[in-house]
């Protein structure tokens, strides 16, 4: 019988803790999360809510679409126009 891998076992424990506190303290209203651990000296953790957020940018001249981080300044070389974000 295969044994559980230590990494899987540890992350299952973290997920169990998150689920418990989300249900007990927040009535299961917290969103799903990705746990990221840093070994940076002196780090007490970090919060990056928009790390994986993407914005669609569109050229008003030729309708070229580009996806990127919020706040980018992108110019269409063919139309010489700034792309507009979809927000």
pLDDT tens digit sequence for 40-82: 777 776 777 767 778 999 999 999 999 998 889 999 999 999 9
Place of tokens 């700034």: 82
**Are 46 and 38 within 8 A, CB to CB?**
yes
Residue 42 tokens, joined: 């002196």
Which residue carries 């993407």 as its tokens? 54
Tokens 């809510």, located at residue: 49
Whether the predicted model's global pTM rises above the 0.85 cut: no
**Residue matched to tokens 């979809």:** 86
Average pLDDT over residues 13-24: 94
Which two structure tokens, joined as six digits, stand for 19? Answer: 């689920």
């Amino acid at each position: 019988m295969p044994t559980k891998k230590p990494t899987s076992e540890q992350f299952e424990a973290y997920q169990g803790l998150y689920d418990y506190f989300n249900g007990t303290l927040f009535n299961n209203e917290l969103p799903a999360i990705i746990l990221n651990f840093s070994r940076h000296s002196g780090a007490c953790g970090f919060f990056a809510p928009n790390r994986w957020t993407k914005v669609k940018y569109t050229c008003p001249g030729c309708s070229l679409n580009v996806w990127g981080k919020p706040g980018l300044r992108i110019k269409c070389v063919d139309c010489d126009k700034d792309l507009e974000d979809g927000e």
